[in-house]
Amino acid sequence: MLYAFSHGTLLTMPRDIATLHISKRIELLNMKIVTSDQMQQIDRECIRRGTPGHVLMENAGRAVAEEISRILDPINQKQFLILVGPGNNGGDGLVATRYLHDWGAEVSVYLCSPRPKDDNNLELVQQRKIACIDVAQDKELTRFSELLASADCVIDALFGTGKARPIQGVLAQVLDKVNQVKKKNAGLVVFAIDLPSGLNADTGEIDPVCPLADYTVIN
């Protein structure tokens, strides 16, 4: 199931819900449960009522960066690897990348899918000379493996609530590598934006390569 707030509250879900503070558990119980399609309808309704899509994305990405910064404080000199997908979840990740960089973190972006040619958020990231590696130019995932080995934190901004099909091909390889490193390195912190990629928002089915996220930031 996918949880949504009508009042814009941000909640970070640890992997073990039992570790949530009692106030957050109460907040969780007060959430409205919606499907993936209904969540998209909520976004469209926000836009229809006057909040532009780019503003929604900016607000979401900044909120994600703020929450990650709060949990991992201090973030300066920490190495972040952001896995960016093709849609809005990837856009949120790019916005979060920009803020984390501006606040002193060392960040790298791994583009796991093509982004729109007019992607302003990607352009703003590139203007900051942030390393952006395209999976299409990293056939053996050599560069990805190097970045992953040195990362303190991985941010899953691939699909969020938008991917219901099985994850296959190079994307499956990328996520599998994250999980393999996570199992060996307990110090690696994995965040997911909205939902770990490969977790079906409607059925709860878990893809074999769904990342072992320590925290899921719901905005």
Each residue's pLDDT tens digit, 156-206:
999 987 766 789 999 999 999 999 999 999 999 999 999 999 998 888 899
Domain containing residue 214: CATH number = 3.40.50.10260
The amino acid sitting at 110 is Y
Q: Which pLDDT value is given to residue 50?
A: 73
Q: Which pLDDT value is given to residue 2?
A: 36
Give yes or no for a contact between 84 and 95, defined as CB atoms under 8 angstroms apart. Answer: no
Please provide the DSSP assignment of 117-146 as one string. Answer: TT-HHHHHHHHTT-EEEEGGG-TT-HHHHH
Using DSSP's 3-state secondary structure scheme, residue 165 falls into coil
Number of domains in the chain: 1
Spatial strand order in the sheet of 131-134: 11-14, 215-218, 189-193, 153-157, 79-84, 106-111, 131-134
Q: How far, CA to CA in Å, does 131 sit from each of 6, 108, 122, 142, 214? A: 36, 5, 11, 15, 25
pLDDT band at 211 (very low <50, low <70, confident <90, very high): very high
Ranking 94-98, 102-106, 165-169 by mean pLDDT, the lowest is: 165-169
Regarding predicted confidence, which is higher, 48 or 92?
Answer: 92
Mean per-residue pLDDT over the chain, rounded: 86
Specify the residue for token string 């040619």. 117
pTM of the model: 0.84
Nearest to 130 by CA among 174, 73, 163, 84: 84
Q: What angle do CA 111, 96, 137 make, to 5 degrees?
A: 10
Q: Which pLDDT value is given to residue 38?
A: 72
Q: Which pLDDT value is given to residue 93?
A: 98
Q: Compute how many other C-beta atoms are within 10 angstroms of the C-beta atom of residue 104.
A: 13
> Given a cut of 70, is residue 118 above it in pLDDT?
yes
Q: Which pLDDT value is given to residue 5?
A: 34
Q: Pairing mode, if any, of strands 215-218 and 11-14?
A: antiparallel
> What are the helix and strand counts (H, E) for the chain?
7, 9
* Nearest-angstrom CA–CA distance, 134 and 151: 17
> Given a cut of 50, is residue 7 above it in pLDDT?
no
Regarding predicted confidence, which is higher, 219 or 63?
Answer: 63
Range of the domain at 59: 2-218
Using DSSP's 3-state secondary structure scheme, residue 56 falls into helix
Q: Which pLDDT value is given to residue 16?
A: 52
Nearest to 157 by CA among 110, 205, 118, 193: 193
Q: Which pLDDT value is given to residue 23?
A: 54
Structure tokens at 141: 């995932």
Note the pLDDT tens digit of each residue in 11-57: 555 555 455 455 554 555 566 666 667 777 766 777 788 777 788 89
